[in-house]
């Protein structure tokens, strides 16, 4: 029985308590969980692994992406994410990004005013499991995480490709002063807004028709007393609209300030900022095109 097989794997990797929780929670929805385990096990084996990652295996039995999702919804959105990956990525690319050792793949590098490099990276593994299946993040030359955006690909009610952003936050080891300094070093490019721009570029590759952002009340960690993120303000700031299920529908396109509207004394910074954004967009396009089926 596949449920017992993965319970044993979790026991070997994480101990009795984690294995017990996984097994007992799975017994509440045995048919749904078994269907998920068969799907993800086959997916990993198809792409050259001996079994699925146990962190990914465990995702549907706990809160995932949105605290309002049922287990059926969690399983559906996860299956859809991996199916969309198969529709766009080559087998070689899928194995590369699913390999745990490849959790810091560089997509793009930017040169700050002081000459130091910062990087846009992508990972499928890490501490953001509950917020989504894929994370892009900015880091400095010492590999300190500046900001992260975590998302999942899925099909909306019209069966169109969509993105659900379940997490957007600053690095846990970075303080406000360091964020301000980082922003100034890139001509006023704010890390979180840079990642939102990057998400739109990724959406273009996957032919996404809709981007949803998680709200404060629906975030998977909203029940924690330490939860202090304000997603609502971020989404409203870029012109997003609240949805019937109290999340946010992001605008089809992000508003761009015309160069002629920029005050003369700020134009140099504006050009630096937008040159960085243009490079990020071009590098994202090239990175994902190199992973695509069309490149084979």
What is the rounded CA–CA span in Å between residue 13 and residue 212? 34
Query: Would you state the pLDDT for residue 102?
Result: 61
Query: Would you state the pLDDT for residue 9?
Result: 94
Query: Would you state the pLDDT for residue 129?
Result: 85
Looking at the chain, the domain(s) classified CATH 3.40.630 span 99-295
Tell me the H-state helices in 158-253.
Answer: 176-185, 191-205, 231-237
Query: Would you state the pLDDT for residue 43?
Result: 97
Helix (H) or strand (E) holding 56: helix 54-58
Name the pairing type of β-strands 105-111 and 161-170. Answer: unpaired
What is the rounded CA–CA span in Å between residue 52 and residue 22? 15
Query: Would you state the pLDDT for residue 155?
Result: 97
Which of 1, 82, 77, 84 has its CA nearest to residue 42?
A: 82
Q: Which residue has the tokens 């922003």?
A: 183
- Three-class SS state of 71: helix
What is the rounded CA–CA span in Å between residue 190 and residue 174? 14
Please, which residues bridge with residue 248 across strands?
213, 242
Query: Would you state the pLDDT for residue 96?
Result: 87
Query: Would you state the pLDDT for residue 100?
Result: 74
| Torsions phi, psi for 201 (to 5 deg) | -65, -40
Query: Would you state the pLDDT for residue 224?
Result: 67
What is the rounded CA–CA span in Å between residue 195 and residue 191? 6
Please, which residues bridge with residue 6 across strands?
none
**DSSP conformational letter for 26:** H
Q: Which residue has the tokens 């999942």?
A: 152
Whether the CB-CB separation of 273 and 257 falls below 8 Å is answered with no
Task: Return the half-sphere exposure (C-beta side, CA atoms, 13 A cut-off) of residue 25.
Answer: 15
**DSSP conformational letter for 292:** B
Helix (H) or strand (E) holding 107: strand 105-111
Query: Would you state the pLDDT for residue 31?
Result: 96
CA-to-CA dists, residue 130 to 78, 125, 126, 285, 293, angstroms: 11, 11, 10, 27, 28
Tell me the H-state helices in 99-245.
Answer: 176-185, 191-205, 231-237
Name the pairing type of β-strands 117-123 and 134-139. Answer: antiparallel
CATH of 99-295, one of 3.40.30, 1.10.8, 3.40.630, 3.40.50: 3.40.630
Which of 201, 199, 144 has its CA nearest to residue 174?
A: 144
Low-confidence ranges of the chain (pLDDT < 70): 101-103, 125, 223-228, 294-296
Query: Would you state the pLDDT for residue 101?
Result: 67
């Amino acid at each position: 029985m596949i449920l017992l097989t993965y319970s044993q794997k979790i026991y070997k990797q994480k101990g009795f308590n984690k294995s017990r929780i996984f097994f007992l929670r799975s017994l509440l929805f045995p048919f749904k969980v078994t269907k998920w385990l068969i799907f993800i096990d086959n997916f990993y084996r198809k792409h050259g692994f001996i079994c699925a990652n146990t962190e990914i295996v465990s995702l549907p039995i706990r809160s995932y992406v949105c605290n309002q999702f049922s287990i059926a919804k969690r399983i559906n959105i996860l299956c859809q994410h991996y199916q969309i990956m198969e529709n766009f990525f080559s087998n070689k690319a899928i194995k590369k990004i699913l390999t745990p050792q490849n959790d810091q793949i560089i997509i793009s590098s930017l040169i700050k005013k002081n000459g130091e490099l910062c990087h846009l990276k992508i990972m499928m593994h890490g501490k953001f499991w509950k917020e989504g299946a894929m994370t892009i993040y900015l880091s400095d030359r010492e590999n300190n995480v500046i900001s992260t955006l975590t998302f999942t690909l899925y099909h909306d009610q019209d069966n169109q490709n969509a993105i659900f952003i379940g997490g957007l936050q600053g690095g846990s080891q970075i303080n406000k002063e360091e964020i301000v300094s980082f922003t100034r070093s890139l001509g006023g490019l704010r890390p979180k807004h840079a990642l939102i721009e990057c998400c739109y570029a990724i959406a273009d590759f996957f032919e996404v028709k809709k981007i949803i952002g998680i709200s404060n009340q629906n975030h998977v960690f909203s029940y924690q007393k330490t939860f202090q993120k304000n997603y609502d303000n971020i989404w409203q700031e870029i012109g997003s609209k609240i949805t019937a299920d109290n999340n946010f529908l992001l605008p089809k396109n992000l508003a761009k300030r015309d160069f002629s509207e920029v005050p003369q004394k700020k134009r140099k910074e504006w050009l630096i900022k937008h040159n960085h954004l243009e490079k990020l967009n071009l590098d994202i396009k090239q990175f994902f095109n190199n992973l695509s089926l069309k490149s084979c």
